Amino acid sequence: MLNDTAPLLSVVPSGAADTKPTVLSVSVEDHRYHPLQQTLAPSALELKKGEVVSIIGPSGCGKSTFLRIAAGLIEASSGKISSAADRTAILFQEHRLLPWKSLLNNISFGLQGQKFSKFQRMKKARAVAYAMGFTEDDLIKYPSELSGGMRQRGALARALAVEPDLLFLDEPFSALDIGRRRDLYRLVLHEVDEKQCSVLMVTHDVTEALALSDRVLVMAPDPGHFAKEYEVPLARSERTRRNLLELEASLLADDRIAQLFNMSNWEQLV
């Protein structure tokens, strides 16, 4: 039986981020894929060192577009980005491991741009892989020989091997079962707690956002804009399943937010 009074994640309590330096500042004034269709209206955020911020909202509202702009993968039609991070990494919903490389070579791939010898790259990649529960037998396998959970764990290992100051997560946990999700949650939060990595995450899962984040930004569509900012009032050590359900109910008690998720009658399941 599940214990709804036990913390969902055993991690160091989140601390106040307002006194920490800003790692990422994003101000999008306008973004369009087509001149006559505005994808993003004015939207802005600041991310502090060691802070986790999630963006939630309905499908197609512009969450992933905003994250890709913040990560520098696409350029906003109008806006400004400022980053103080020396090393960044991004993890997508798809693992995007290179199919012709072994798991070890995939994990070490991101280190090729840094000043490491091949021996040092492999040593570092192995250390990260072992910390994430991979065995030596796993490391010689190719992505097609790994389970879905192992492939996504490998993709996270590749991202964390570079020791990012700033980590972008674009729904990387959505295809995983809850057990695998919790394993990856803990790995990400370890980077936050131990190395003060900052995280900007996009997710459809309200509970996931509340469990992991210091702040949650709700994006509304047509065009995409931030409709609400919610500061999670509990330390992570206090975020039991019961408390998370209460937080979710509190967030969805705002009719505007409930309507975004088609959950106007939130308490009725069907």
Query: b vs e for 17-39, b when ≥16 Cβ sit within 10 Å of the residue's Cβ?
Result: beeeeebbebebeebeeeeeebb
Helix, strand or coil, per DSSP, at residue 187:
helix
For residue 257, give every residue at least 6 positions away whose Cβ sits within 8 Å of its Cβ, in sequence order, or none: 218, 227, 228, 251
Closest of 115, 125, 127 to residue 87, by C-alpha:
115
Task: Identify the bridge partners of residue 229 per DSSP, sorted by sequence position.
Answer: 217
**Residue 257 — very low, low, confident or very high, per pLDDT cuts 50/70/90?**
confident
**Residue 48 — very low, low, confident or very high, per pLDDT cuts 50/70/90?**
very high
Q: What would the pLDDT profile of 203-251 be if each residue is shown by its tens digit?
A: 989 999 999 999 999 999 999 999 999 999 999 889 898 999 999 998 8
Burial class of residue 262 (count of CB atoms within 10 Å of its CB; 0-12, 13-18, 19+): exposed
Burial class of residue 179 (count of CB atoms within 10 Å of its CB; 0-12, 13-18, 19+): exposed
Helix, strand or coil, per DSSP, at residue 229:
strand
Question: How crowded is the C-beta side of 250, counted as CA atoms within 13 Å?
Answer: 14
Task: Identify the bridge partners of residue 88 per DSSP, sorted by sequence position.
Answer: 166
| pLDDT for res 266 | 52
Question: How crowded is the C-beta side of 201, counted as CA atoms within 13 Å?
Answer: 29
| pLDDT for res 1 | 37
Q: What would the pLDDT profile of 148-201 be if each residue is shown by its tens digit?
A: 888 988 999 999 999 999 999 998 888 777 887 888 888 899 889 999 999 999
What topology does CATH give the domain 22-87+166-260? Rossmann fold (3.40.50)
Residue type present at position 112: Q
**Residue 260 — very low, low, confident or very high, per pLDDT cuts 50/70/90?**
confident
16: left (phi over 0), alpha (psi -120 to 50) or beta: beta
Q: Strands of 198-202's sheet, edge to edge?
A: 88-91, 166-170, 198-202, 52-56, 215-220, 225-231
* Cβ 106 vs Cβ 95: under 8 Å: no
pTM for this prediction: 0.87
DSSP letter, residue 15: -
- Domain spans in the chain, listed from the N-terminal domain onward: 22-87+166-260, 98-163
